[in-house]
Chain A
Amino acid sequence: MNAEQILSQFRANGVQTCFHGRHINPQIYADLNGGNWSLKDYVARGGYQALRKVLGKDGAEPAGDPPVVGMTQDQVIATLKESALRGRGGAGFPTGLKWSFMPRQFPGQKYLVCNSDEGEPGTCKDRDILMYNPHIVIEGMAIAAFAMGISVGYNYIHGEIFEAYDRFEAALEEARAAGLLGDNILDSGFSFQLHAFHGFGAYICGEETALLESLEGKKGQPRFKPPFPASFGLYGKPTTINNTETFAAVPWIIRNGGAAYLACGKPNNGGTKIFSVSGDVEMPGNYEVPMGTPFSKLLELAGGVRKGRTLKAVIPGGSSAPVLPASIMMDCTMDYDSIAKAGSMLGSGAVIVMDDSRCMVESLKRLSYFYMHESCGQCTPCREGTGWLWRMVSRIDEGEGRPADMALLDNVAENIMGRTICALGDAAAMPVRAMIKHFRHEFEAKIASANAPAA
């Protein structure tokens, strides 16, 4: 066997993470098996019906007064607003509202960007969408482009999932050949050119303005906001950026209506959400469930805490989200509002589960190393502060902590927050403060034993 053949033996096939049949009323992951990602299979599942509906190419009679074929831009945006779809990348910003910020009448070039730079530790949902259902993203982007009067788009894909980049490129070729992308789509007069771009190893490029810099062929250092991308985005032009899963939700919403999508979730938290469950569970993987599903149910879908251990803590929204102890987490439902009320963030939906054998100091040490490593170096509080945090947590973990370290840790974290151009500084500080808040005794015990008088 040659090297390629050997490597292919270890390639994931999605069975454990996506085709396990343990989703609840899935929309994005529905009916996937790994072999049905291509255009003909997507169309057989009802794919591109939403785009046809929007463009008036689904055979429906003109409706309304005055009679309209298809949907207007305002109707598409109103439907998105009604759906209460909120951005799936982490911030949870209402998608319809974001789309309404785009100056549609701006006469120059405008851009649409998909953020598939999925690097928030714990998150692996967009990879399975791009690998096993890439056309749902293309269709969602084409509808978004129509709604905002945009003619060119890019999908920025995490460089580490190169196979997903290749897969998306293949899907783009299929869509172009079928007249679903490119000039005069389905003979509607609407044109949309869509291309794939790959990163090459920089967590910061998941931040939308760093992503734009990277897409322009530069270092991925975030821009100061304002101006926001809606007025000054890619190449200085108006730009709308949404996460992969957000675009993937759009076709269902257009086919079934905003009210139906909202009804799938709970008020202010429409639809389904994909949760990437990792860490100490029996069956780590992606689980698509209605917004508002109890955390206890999600844990059960993932097979429960592994090896019969008990739940200690959960980081509910990716590594930047504050950790929550088991007792608080077991009372939460999985939606933006419930997790925020409990003192954390739903974020990207990455649920990192930790059992009762885990040392929180050691866990925080690894996270703090990550933020130090990925700080872009632009802002002093982040560049210097993330290294300072890591060095302090390291020495506490290694039995060399000092009595003053607890106050200093909190002080350094507090002085990073709100003092940087982008949210990476906050993302580094929040886990530190939450760990100290909920698991202070573990840090103090390590420091105390380090400073105990010799017997």
Chain B
Amino acid sequence: MSTGQAVAAVEFSSTTQQRFAREVAKYPADQAQSAVMACLSIIQQEMGFVSTGAEASLAAYLGMEPIAVHEVTTFYNMYNQQPVGKFKLNVCTNLPCQLRDGQSALHHLEHKLGITMGGTTADGLFTLQQSECLGACADSPVMLVNDRHMCSFMSNDKLDQLIDGLRASEGQS
């Protein structure tokens, strides 16, 4: 936003626009801005992250200022402002999870993937992040994969199965 460079607009496909329209329809006609969070998560699901260009195009679609969209992207923890690995892993380490091996699950993944938290594997498959409360405290160790898939009771064995399975699904076992 502060680079001063021209922002390349992003063209949304008709399928994406249909998903946007379904969200916008939930709100009064003069309150399309209420759909911004849902639309940004749709963009992230389809493009992997929210680019400045996508923010500008969404702003035009919803009739908002681009900076108002950018405020939302930067305020909420789950929006990716930069590209991430194909699988973004968020491990909860808040106190209830810390008491049930959440922290050691994160360390296990760091060791297995050969990266530290916040990093992405060289093959671009995995990004590993620490997260705050996912609201699944009794399932600990618990992690969220790509914002929409909660994985529960993740012992080290299950973490290994998950990582190996996802690698295999990408033909990289």
A residues apposed to B, CB below 8 Å? 1-3, 6-12, 16-17, 109, 118-124, 126-127, 154, 158-163, 195, 197-203, 214-220, 235, 276-280, 284-286, 315, 319, 350, 352-354, 358, 363, 366-367, 370, 373-374, 376
Known: A118-B135, A163-B150. A3 touches B26 (CB 8 A): no
- A279 / chain B contacts, CB cutoff of 8 Å: 95-96, 99-100
Partner of A6, one of B64, B95, B162: B162
Q: How far is the CA of A195 from the CA of B28 in the complex (A)?
A: 12
A204 and chain B: residue at smallest CB distance = B75
Q: Does B98 contact A (CB under 8 A)?
A: yes
Contact indicator B95/A319 (Cβ below 8 Å): yes
Q: How far is the CA of A198 from the CA of B147 in the complex (A)?
A: 12
Contact indicator A277/B138 (Cβ below 8 Å): yes
Q: Does B113 contact A (CB under 8 A)?
A: no
Q: Does B87 contact A (CB under 8 A)?
A: yes
- A358 / chain B contacts, CB cutoff of 8 Å: 99
Partner of A201, one of B28, B76, B98, B140: B76
Contact indicator A10/B151 (Cβ below 8 Å): yes
Known: A2-B169, A216-B34. A122 touches B78 (CB 8 A): no
List the count of A-B residue pairs having beta carbons below 8 Å apart.
Answer: 199
Known: A162-B147, A215-B34, A319-B95. A201 touches B138 (CB 8 A): no
Contact indicator B100/A284 (Cβ below 8 Å): yes
Most buried by B among A6, A109, A219: A6
Q: Does B31 contact A (CB under 8 A)?
A: yes
- A124 / chain B contacts, CB cutoff of 8 Å: 135-139
Q: Does B21 contact A (CB under 8 A)?
A: no
Q: How far is the CA of A157 from the CA of B107 in the complex (A)?
A: 30
Contact indicator B144/A199 (Cβ below 8 Å): no
Contact indicator B165/A6 (Cβ below 8 Å): yes
A-facing mask of B138-173, CB < 8 A → 1, else 0?
111000110111111110001001100110111000
Contact indicator A11/B132 (Cβ below 8 Å): no
Known: A2-B169, A120-B133, A159-B41. A12 touches B78 (CB 8 A): no
Known: A16-B139, A350-B137. 20 other contacts (CB 8 A): A6-B169, A9-B165, A10-B151, A11-B150, A12-B153, A122-B137, A160-B131, A160-B134, A198-B41, A199-B76, A201-B76, A201-B131, A203-B132, A216-B33, A218-B68, A277-B138, A280-B100, A354-B99, A363-B98, A366-B93
Contact indicator B94/A366 (Cβ below 8 Å): yes
Contact indicator B31/A160 (Cβ below 8 Å): no
Q: Does B72 contact A (CB under 8 A)?
A: yes
- B152 / chain A contacts, CB cutoff of 8 Å: 10-12
A286 and chain B: residue at smallest CB distance = B138
Q: Does B123 contact A (CB under 8 A)?
A: no
Q: How far is the CA of A34 from the CA of B126 in the complex (A)?
A: 31
- B161 / chain A contacts, CB cutoff of 8 Å: 9
- B68 / chain A contacts, CB cutoff of 8 Å: 217-218
- B71 / chain A contacts, CB cutoff of 8 Å: 218-219
Contact indicator B133/A284 (Cβ below 8 Å): no
Contact indicator A278/B37 (Cβ below 8 Å): no
Partner of A123, one of B135, B151, B165: B135
Contact indicator B144/A160 (Cβ below 8 Å): yes
Most buried by A among B76, B96, B145, B147: B96
Shortest CB-to-CB span from A155 to chain B, Å, is 11
- A219 / chain B contacts, CB cutoff of 8 Å: 71-72, 75
Q: Does B117 contact A (CB under 8 A)?
A: no
Q: How far is the CA of A311 from the CA of B87 in the complex (A)?
A: 39
Contact indicator A202/B169 (Cβ below 8 Å): no
Q: Does B36 contact A (CB under 8 A)?
A: yes
Shortest CB-to-CB span from B109 to chain A, Å, is 14
Contact indicator A7/B151 (Cβ below 8 Å): yes
Query: Which residues of B in the span 60-78 have a Cβ within 8 Å of any Cβ on A?
Result: 62, 64, 68, 71-72, 75-78
Contact indicator B132/A10 (Cβ below 8 Å): no
Q: List 28 A-B contacts (CB under 8 A).
A: A3-B166, A6-B169, A10-B153, A10-B154, A11-B149, A12-B152, A17-B139, A118-B135, A122-B137, A124-B138, A159-B37, A160-B133, A161-B150, A163-B148, A163-B149, A200-B78, A216-B31, A217-B64, A218-B71, A219-B71, A278-B96, A278-B100, A280-B99, A319-B96, A353-B99, A367-B95, A370-B133, A373-B132
Q: How far is the CA of A154 from the CA of B31 in the complex (A)?
A: 14
Q: Does B7 contact A (CB under 8 A)?
A: no
Contact indicator B135/A17 (Cβ below 8 Å): no
Q: Does B106 contact A (CB under 8 A)?
A: no
- A235 / chain B contacts, CB cutoff of 8 Å: 28, 31
Q: How far is the CA of A373 from the CA of B131 in the complex (A)?
A: 10
Most buried by A among B62, B100, B154: B100
- A195 / chain B contacts, CB cutoff of 8 Å: 26-27
Q: How far is the CA of A11 from the CA of B143 in the complex (A)?
A: 10
Q: How far is the CA of A123 from the CA of B170 in the complex (A)?
A: 35
Q: Does B40 contact A (CB under 8 A)?
A: yes
A221 and chain B: residue at smallest CB distance = B75
Contact indicator B95/A200 (Cβ below 8 Å): no
- A214 / chain B contacts, CB cutoff of 8 Å: 37
Contact indicator B153/A127 (Cβ below 8 Å): no
- A373 / chain B contacts, CB cutoff of 8 Å: 132
Shortest CB-to-CB span from B90 to chain A, Å, is 8
